[in-house]
Amino acid sequence: MSEPIEIRGLVKVFGRARALDGLDLTVTAGHVHGFLGPNGAGKSTTLRILLGLVRADAGRVDLLGGDPWTDATTLHRRLAYVPGDVTLWPGLTGGEVFDLLTRMRGGADPRRRAELVERFDLDPTRRSRTYSTGNRQKVALIAALAADVELLVLDEPTSGLDPLMEAVFQDCIGEAAAAGRTVLLSSHVLAEVEALCEHVTIVRRGRVVESGSLAALRHLGRTSVTAELAGESGALTDLPGVHALHRDGARIRCEVDTDRLDPLLARLAHIGTRGLVVAPPTLEELFLRHYDHSDLQASR
Amino acid sequence: MTTVIADHRSPGRPSVVTEALTGVSGLVRLIARRDRAVLGLWVLATVGLLAGAAASTASTYPSPQARADRYDQILAVPTFLVFQSRAFDDGVGALAAQQAFGGTTILAALGAALLVVRHTRGEEESGRRELLGSTVVGRQAPLAAILAVTLAAGVLIGVLGSAALISSGLPATGAVALGTVACGAAWIGAGMGAVAAQLTTRPALAAIGALGTFVVLHYLRGLVHLGGDRLAWLGWLIPNGWLEQVRPFADERWWPLALVAALTAALVAGAGALSARRDLGAALVAPRRGPATAVPALRDPLRLAWHLHRGSILAWSLGLAAIGSAMGAAGSAAVADYADLAWVADYASALRLSDPADAFFVYVVFVFVFVTAGHAVFLTLRLRTDEASGLAESLLATPTSRARWAAGHLGVALLAPVLLQTSLGVGLGVGAGAATGDLAGELTRGLGLALPLVPAVWVLVGVTVAAFGAVSRTAPVLGWLAIGIGIGAEIAVKAGVLPEAVYRAVSPFSHVSAYYRPTPLVYIGLVIIAGALIAAGIALLQRRDVLPE
């Protein structure tokens, strides 16, 4: 069976701007896949091509076994989408919008609806024009989460939510994944991606700069080590893979390539440690390092 | 609170008033920059209406005898009183003022009210006001800035309008009086817009409220005249009546303008007081809650479109029915009296109509079909606004195809002209039937005149959809342009400056005009053209990107 989303060499040009420049993306069935990148990297364009709203100029796109441009209506029965910038009909109430969208997708279980309205703490009797950004997002999220679909496509769905609602959102995505749904989550909230996603793809200027499982990406990154030492540390930088060493009296702080961790720990143990903190690389570090690097390249 | 601040303020500190108005000059420049095109268009259109009335009066009634006939006609036919104004003299200037009064005052007030609402409540709803409010801008500064711009634009209308009238050879005193009347209408419109913007959280509602009040008062002013001397005192309660009483070119009376200035000042002060008392984004009338679940019918694009548009269709239908019945009642009586007058017979024969009474109704229907057409194009353009706002994106991500989405708005846009023209026809029939006693006959005549124009409106819907399908942002331009061409061609061909062949080529309305004696084939042809344009629009829509802006 093919994967829910397979994209190869995707190109989209708007006028003179090349929004997508040979983008590849594979999302495995049943996974929550993080889709990261700075503003204007081409994330939303990719999602709109996946939904058949925008036509690709080149490349192959396979969505749930079909072509999103020609089979949009059929494929949309099997997915739900939350746009990045949620617009609602100003004169309809949140509840009306919610019912309208779910009915167009084939209806939703009223109990599920009530449960989600309760969990997201939404007042469905207010007119959409009186909703804040976060509340508009909740309406779209509830409509998407209530739908009985295989695939959820979410474009920065939590940018307007408060931390409490962010937690509810993470619970709901966890449940969706447990139920076997596939989720493509475009996001700027790295903690959210770290908590939810097995796989991530990082895009930059319309191309993928990094893709793989979070564990594998972490392996590529650097572990940060902070130690309180009993003796003189000496020149730790002679060890392979040790970077950015800072010394502050008996305290040292450095980064080390994760696959070169053992020699450093052995050396520290030999010197004698009073305290030791070893932190795995965070997504944020990966992300920032990648972008800084790309920025340098781009500015050259 | 205010007094406390005032008592404790140190000598170097700005006063409360200065504080509230900080930043006005910057905002004035921002408004002038953002809306220079709209402002210019509004001022020029209003001035153009004044100048046009002067020119057409001089050419339509060249001799003193023709002007005397016209004066009698205005006195006798209520329609002219209700829609335009009283005539106070049979000179060219006074007749021009009579003809220009309705259109000019309403257009002046319309522009002013829309601008004020747009820059007060409109900015608040969009959230831009909040962004500005966080900078060094006083609480009352946005209201003060747009009022300054609009009142100044009103003065400009007065000055340019007077100059245009003087340059067309009319006496200076009367010209200045008529220009000042236009300015006064803009001022009242601005004041009403400012107050309405404080009352509701919805910009569209505030604009319609302010404008609707002005237009209704205009017609009330006319209806009071129909009541004769017994009701004359009532006229002094209506601001539009004060403007009318200035009597340009007929022994001008200047003091009613003081009432206009006082009313403007009161409205501005009232708006300022309301604005100072409320929170940003709040209004005197709080938004109501609605149903927590949607009615079962709300489940597909067509029924969604009907749900969204039914209110506006109902309002416009009632409006056309009301206008139709007023015209029907007033018109049938007047035409019966005037059927043997030369101008009525001329007009009827120009339209190749045997019954002179028909001529009047044909005229009414051809004026108001453009209201119906404007409404239909407006409904069609919802496709464009849905796409730009991102609503289309949300809908098209469900199993809704582009064709079904488009068909939703189009279905309603094609149905609406049928309903609106039916309302107009029924209105005419009921009004005329009440006057003549032949209700069935008059209903048949009203509907028979109003409904055949529907296929021409459908062609304009088709033009708008075809443009939308090809390139989204051209739809509003081409849609409104098509209506503009329709109105322009209608006027130009009557004035004799447009060759008939061109008129036939550019205006779908020409083909349903009684003058050309349309056959059933003409209607079928128009329906086929509309259908082909709509099909082309939907086919083109399938091929392009659908992107929010």
B230 in reach of chain A (CB within 8 A) = no
Q: Is the pTM of this model over 0.80?
A: no
**pLDDT score for B472:** 93
Nearest CA-CA partner of B356 in B336, B379, B371, B376: B336
**pLDDT score for A285:** 74
How far is residue A20's CA from residue A203's CA, in Å, rounded to a whole number? Answer: 10
How far is residue B515's CA from residue B517's CA, in Å, rounded to a whole number? Answer: 6
pLDDT in tens, B4-51: 444 444 455 556 667 777 778 888 888 888 888 889 989 998 998 888
Averages of pLDDT over each 10 residues, chain A, 300 residues = 88 92 94 90 93 94 94 92 90 92 86 93 90 92 92 92 92 94 90 89 89 80 84 77 82 83 86 86 73 48
- A69: helix, strand or coil: coil
B497 in reach of chain A (CB within 8 A) = no
The average pLDDT across B470-499 equals 83
Minimum distance, in Å, between the CA of residue A214 and any CA atom of chain B:
29
The band of B202, judged by pLDDT with boundaries at 50, 70 and 90, is confident
**pLDDT score for A300:** 35
**pLDDT score for B9:** 43
**pLDDT score for B350:** 67
The average pLDDT across B340-361 equals 69
How far is residue B174's CA from residue B101's CA, in Å, rounded to a whole number? Answer: 13
How far is residue B83's CA from residue B73's CA, in Å, rounded to a whole number? Answer: 14
Beta-carbon contacts of residue B308 (< 8 Å; ≥ 6 apart): A89, A91, B382
Which residue in chain A is spatially nearest to B289 when comparing CA positions? Answer: A126
Interface of B with A in 408-427 (CB under 8 A): none
> Buried (b) or exposed (e) across A206-239, using 16+ Cβ within 10 A?
bbbbbbeebeebbeebbbbbebebeeebeebeee
The average pLDDT across B228-247 equals 85
- B188: helix, strand or coil: helix
Does A127 contact B396 at a Cβ distance shorter than 8 Å? no
pLDDT in tens, B518-538: 889 999 999 999 999 999 999
The mean of the pLDDT values for chain B is 86
On chain A, the residues whose CB falls within 8 A of the CB of B546 are: 53-54
Q: Take residue A206 and report the two structure tokens written for it.
A: 């319309």
Size of interface A-B (CB pairs under 8 A): 116
**pLDDT score for A293:** 53
What are the residue ranges spanned by the domains of chain B?
18-283, 297-549
In chain B, the largest separation of any two C-alpha atoms, in whole Å, equals 83
B389: nearest CB among A87, A91, A105 = A87
pLDDT in tens, B109-137: 999 999 999 998 888 877 777 777 677 77
Beta-carbon contacts of residue A78 (< 8 Å; ≥ 6 apart): A64, A149, A150, A151
Residue A73 near residue A109, CB atoms below 8 Å: no
Q: Lowest-pLDDT range, B65-74, B295-304, B474-483, B491-500?
A: B491-500
Containing B384, the helix (H) or strand (E) segment is helix B382-389
Q: Take residue B58 and report the two structure tokens written for it.
A: 């001089």
**pLDDT score for A8:** 95
Indicate whether B540 pLDDT > 90.
yes
- DSSP code of residue A300: -
Nearest CA-CA partner of A137 in A61, A101, A95, A86: A86
A87: nearest CB among B289, B391, B543 = B391
Q: Take residue A291 and report the two structure tokens written for it.
A: 């972008």
Check if the interface score ipTM surpasses 0.95.
no
The angle at the Cα of B390, spanning A76 to A107, to the nearest 5 degrees, equals 35
Does B546 contact A89 at a Cβ distance shorter than 8 Å? no
A51: nearest CB among B202, B391, B397 = B397
B291: nearest CB among A93, A100, A103 = A93
Residues of A with CB under 8 A from a CB of B: 48, 51-55, 72-74, 76-77, 79-81, 83, 85-89, 91-93, 95-101, 103-106, 124-127, 129-130, 140, 153
**pLDDT score for A257:** 82
**pLDDT score for B3:** 40
Does A74 contact B288 at a Cβ distance shorter than 8 Å? no
More confident residue, A90 or B468: B468
